[in-house]
Amino acid sequence: MARFFITHSWKDIEFAKRLCNDLRAHGLEGFFDAYSIQLGDNVPSRIARGLEDCDVYLPLLSPAALASKWSELEISAAIVLNRDHARNERPRIISVVAEKCTVPVLLRTFLYVDFVGRYDDALRDLLNAFGVQVITNPNPQIPIPPPRKIQTPPHSFIHPKTGKEMILIPPGEFVMGSNKGRDNEKPPHKVYLDGFYISRYPVTNAEYKKYVDATKHPPPEHWSNGQIPAGEENHPVTNVTWYDANAYAEWAGARLPTEAEWEKVASWDDAKKVKRVYPWGDTFDANKCNSSESKIGDTTPVGKYSPHGDSPYGIADMAGNVWEWCADWYDENYYRNAPARDPKNETAGSFRVLRGGAFNLVSNLVRAASRVRLNAYDWYDLIGFRLVAGAS
């Protein structure tokens, strides 16, 4: 089902809410700032991701909207995306005339729907453009039941216990492994994963502190007197063992990602059905991640390199910054006999899997397919983790 993005002036907020609610009532989902932006979000980044993810862009036109610089910027960004040949005219642009006004020149080449004085008829026209068939009642004495809402998982949600934004990764096949690295990445092989949610960012110091305060779990070794180092609240938590990370995940009602889930999120372009070497593409770029080439020499705040360094699914910090614990036991040759569906190595060994590379490592080790091992009881200042939740 196509996803929408609504641009509006705040003077048109009530119209925008009504339209969004009506679209959702007919089984559609999408981005509407009043509902989609949460407290603490990086607003420009969240808007940029919403635009890139949408299939149909709906600018609400009115005198107030046409005078708004924010509306103008979003409209221009949507047009640029639409004209990118690699995106195949996605998003489709359909203007919504909310109040009488002149449609801007840049939008006149696209379809528009006039809602002025004809909301119900215009909504039906718009839904038809989405491919949602609306039945007209030939006998008003016999009411038509409301449309059945399609029960599909939301694209994202805010985890109630941790406050983390969780992004839906749809079910499907991807290519795991690589011929570009060490033998433990071979052979490349197809894997099918059920759908799941993964946190957009690694767990931060501030988020881990809430867990420490709630459970009296020992804080990381480098926290002086149990306090987060000054200014590092939004940095990924580090100096945590696998058992620390797993305990946090269990407390949160979540879990650690399997290495298959982690690699799919970091590398798979679902739209093109191709695997990327790095989250952003096949060529290393020191401006898109925190590796040794950045010469920072320490962790950076989560999301610092978003959206340009994000994976195809919009997940941040999957190359560099900190290694991330995965759920699996490590096996050098696991790929040779791994199951083709939802693999997870549960055969106990000496080590657990780490993925993603860290701030002190070179570009070859921050590739999405790179995998290393570490004793689950070990901890370092370059190891953190992120969360996964089921999609059911």
Pairing of strands 172-176, 56-61: unpaired
Average pLDDT, the chain: 91
Residue type, 222: H
Q: Average pLDDT, stretch 175-179?
A: 95
pLDDT at 209 over 70: yes
CA dihedral 363, 357, 290, 253 (to 10 degrees): 150
DSSP letter for each residue of 203-253: PBHHHHHHHHHHH-PPPPTTSGGG-PPTT-TTSBP-S--HHHHHHHHHHHT
Domains with residue ranges and CATH for the chain: 3-129 (3.40.50.10140), 156-390 (3.90.1580.10)
User: What pLDDT, on a 0 to 100 scale, did the predictor assign at position 17?
Assistant: 93
Cβ neighbors of 300 (< 8 A, separation 6 or more) are 235, 290, 321, 359
User: What pLDDT, on a 0 to 100 scale, did the predictor assign at position 153?
Assistant: 60
Of 67-76, 101-110, 223-232, 284-293, the range with the lowest mean pLDDT is 101-110
Q: How confident is the model at residue 141 (pLDDT cuts 50, 70, 90)?
A: low
Q: Residues 61, 93: contact at Cβ < 8 Å?
A: no
Q: Which residues pair with 275 in a beta bridge?
A: 268
